A and B are shown apart, each in its own frame.
Chain A
Amino acid sequence: MSVKGESEQEVVRALMRRELAWPELLKLMREHKSPNRFEQMIAAVQESVEWKEQILLPLGENLFIVAKEGRAIVKTRAGAELCAWNENWKMKCRVRVRRTREELLQIYPEKHLTIDPELVELREFYCPVSGTLLDVDCVPPTYPVETDFTPDLATFYRDWLGKPLPVVL
């Protein structure tokens, strides 16, 4: 079991680092979904960050819900602690809103750009520490900023994983 477990962990680490070749990825897609995947992925991601707080749930490539002093908070890979787990983390980021054609042309080629800034604005949310792009919203002007996901952490940990949740929500 330990050999299998170790081997699975290595595969998941390589998956997280995007080091698996296509045939290996295809095998993963086709085979039975391992009940250990969540723990293994969390372990792999935890190895990849420089801080010590326990990761409770990944929200994005560079964004996590972590346990800190008995509470769940949203933290970036670069270490910015944004807010409580169920608050609007985007509002604690730095933002660049592209709302003119000139601003859109800084990222899109002129001959291809047909997005109409009167109808849609691009809101780029950056990690305030590293400048990593965490999310890009495409919404009509004045549309409220909303997060894409609010997990039910208690149900996930206690009922689905059968584990204690190491924070007070």
Chain B
Amino acid sequence: MGKQMTLKQQLLHSEKLFTETGTYYGIKELALHDRDPLKFEAFHSRLLSTIISVRNTMKFIASSPAVRDFEEFVIGLYTPEGDAVVLSTGIMVHVHTLSEFIKFMIQNDYEDDPRIRPGDIFENNEVWAGGVHTPDVMTCIPVFEGDELIAWIGSVSHELESGTYEGPGMSVLSPDRFGEGLHISAEKVGENDHFRKDYLLRLKMNLRNSNWWSLDDKAKLSGCLMVREALRKILDTFGLDYYKQGVRELIEEGRRNFLKRVRATMVPGVYRGMTMPVHKRTHVPFVHPMAKNDFIDLVRTELTVTKAGTLELDYEGSTGWSFHPFNCAPGPMNGGFWITLTQLLAYDGRVNDGAYLGVTQFLPEGSIVNSNYSGTATSLAWWTLIPIFANIWRLIGISWFARGFIEEIVMSTPTCMVGVTGFDQYHQPTGYQNFEMAGESFGARGVADGMDCGSPIWNSEGIQGDAEVWEMTGPNLYVGRAFLPDHHAYGRFRGGATWESLWMVRGSQLVNVTLSGAGCMNGGVFHKGMFGGYPPPGWKCMWASGTNLKELIERGDKMPTSVNEAEAMLKDGRITAREWYCGPLNQWSPNLKEYDLFGIIYYGGCGYGDPLERDRAMIEKDLANGLMTEAAAGEIYGYGRTSQDTERRRAEIRKRRLQESIPAEEWWAKEQARARTGAVGPIVSQMFARSAQISDALKQAYLKFWKIEKFPYTESGMPEFQTPPPTGFYYPKSSSRPKANGAAAREGDVR
């Protein structure tokens, strides 16, 4: 049937079948599976083992440190219509963004122009074509049997440098897409299994360090070609008809398994959350005028687990997109949910796009989760995605708790990030983010503390990597890398222990750093903890230029080994500096040089349960490991030297809690006057007003809760302007939930 249809007709046919039947490709029975389950299992195993073994091989062919040492890549096999069949571990957000990329090419008639032929190589990092941001570069090849396209193979790597205005691969301060580097907008970049020379020249001319990008391109292309070769043998074994039917049955089975898993482990209902990343740039001296503002990107999240076992995510009430690189679009949001699916709900059995068919996201147009400006920047969409989806992990944890599967509960972690730009120790221009951030500590679990030095939400294989590799990658020498006592999120189970790094510039006379954190910087909080657990106390970074570290070293004096120690030494004069900063505001440092300092605290995830229920043995383990001081353990956990002391202290704290608290309704009666006048700081006031500009969801909830008639927040602090959406091509779209359902969505919240 496929041979008579164009790819676009095939894609539309597949979508029509799903809409009409509710099953993938209209499959009612898993005929191949039912006829011979063992053969079907062998078929899946051959495909999956091919993908996994290729991933482990390709990073040793040619690759950058990000791929070789920090696992920043993924590879997957797709149907002709672009649906994921099997995929590797790694940055699994891109299993779905690759899918969107393939569908973008099909929907925009690439079959006619620029044509899709055997040996072609396509590449993309474009948000309108399903990508997330410029550093995540997708490489994709079609697989033909005769003249029929039977599959796509795609791979994605994260590039440390992507030609941004600031330098590192991800821009923190760009107001729009024109500062976020080299866009490869769903382009044909190779033919006959080779990258085109004009493409490689383009990389050389538009990147500070094109070697990393082109080496990773070669690794990805090699991986795709290895899978293509392996596919030939699989076709020889199973036959083309079996393959074509088999991959579709695998996806339908994945869809069914996903619904079954939701119904077996979750509880239907409505789950609510909010995140509020704080962004400040008025203190940064070198920012585009359009981007020079301070604001909160509020995201309201409502997760509905339906009777059928599908999941619906609604973000009504979120604030709008604006001139910063934290905007999202359907591609990034779908990818963001994919990392949730693959790590929490569909991590075994048939992990493929079938699971995705059980999810609907309602992304209000013009909001931070669905920017509709053609020039929008998404270079750091992750600073919105990470808090959103980490909070959704928490909501799923509430569901597992209610169902009794407490061993599954896990909370994630923010990402805190150092970017380095300038000239490196080899006298070459450079720009990169230090991916040791891929080893940040988890939030708490339902049965254990959060993993210390875990992995981020965006890479299931994430690791810190060796300090020595980073010292070779850029002009920085580690002077400290250690855990930070008393900084974790408190709870019966604590968040993973916070750690930090401090560097001295080495081998460069001209370099600067950007320092920021996802959802936790500028005085904000990542998201709330679970069942009485707290968030960590805050985030900090530092830099110091024109220091006397050279003299300290020559005298053999004590060097700083942590951010707080460096701050103390700067304050008491042991370290002198021309300029320095240490605190919670995101930074773009002035130029630094040999012997200057910079550092960052990697804030961990949130806590679980009342801290007074923490097991004494766990507290004592932290004391023994230097992760906590006895004074803090006494104050927070009511810890005493004996069980009796501990019980007594805990009883005193509970008594004090009751004495120092008031009935919530009494608090409401007092607070109502403030809510009526809106007597809050300007950033919070503007956040409420920005939410009301595009939706009345939060405004109505506010009026209802406070029992007032007039919403006090009217000044958004944003200039009035109109922007055009992209035109002239297909791109992934989403919109608000139809109003009829939305009105009743928060009916559980009644006073």
Contact = CB atoms under 8 A, between A and B. Distances in A.
User: Do A and B form a real pair?
Assistant: yes
B398 A146 contact: no
Contacts of B671: 142
Interface stretch (B76-84, B359-367, B429-437, B653-661): B653-661
B664 A20 contact: no
Contact of A107 (B399, B534, B610): B534
A140 B276 contact: yes
A145 interface: yes
A124 B267 CA distance: 26
B610 A61 contact: yes
B269 A114 contact: no
Interface of B: 261, 263-265, 267-274, 276, 278, 296, 298, 305, 307, 395, 398-399, 401-408, 447-448, 484, 486-487, 490, 492, 522-525, 527-540, 564, 583-584, 609-613, 615, 632, 635-636, 653-658, 660-665, 667-668, 671, 674-675, 678, 680-681, 683-684, 687-688, 701-702, 704-706, 746-751
A119 B531 CA distance: 22
Interface in A1-31: 12, 15-16, 18, 20, 22, 25, 28-29
Interface string A105-119: 001110111111011
A86 interface: yes
B523 A120 contact: yes
A119 B523 contact: yes
B269 A61 contact: no
Interface in A60-98: 60-63, 86-88, 90-97
B296 A119 contact: yes
Contact of B538 (A29, A115, A128): A115
Contacts, number: 264
A140 B296 contact: yes
A18 B615 contact: yes
Contacts of A119: 276, 278, 296, 522-524, 681, 683-684
Contacts of A20: 447
B535 A138 contact: yes
Contact of A159 (B307, B635, B668, B684): B307
28 contacts: A15-B447, A18-B615, A61-B532, A87-B751, A88-B750, A96-B657, A107-B534, A107-B636, A116-B278, A119-B276, A122-B534, A126-B661, A131-B658, A132-B610, A133-B612, A133-B657, A134-B532, A136-B533, A138-B525, A139-B276, A140-B688, A144-B704, A145-B664, A146-B749, A148-B272, A149-B272, A155-B307, A156-B268
Nearest to A92: B664
A22 B448 contact: yes
Contacts of B609: 61
* Interface-central residue, A42, A94, A122, A130, by most chain B CB under 10 Å: A94
B406 A16 contact: yes
A58 interface: yes
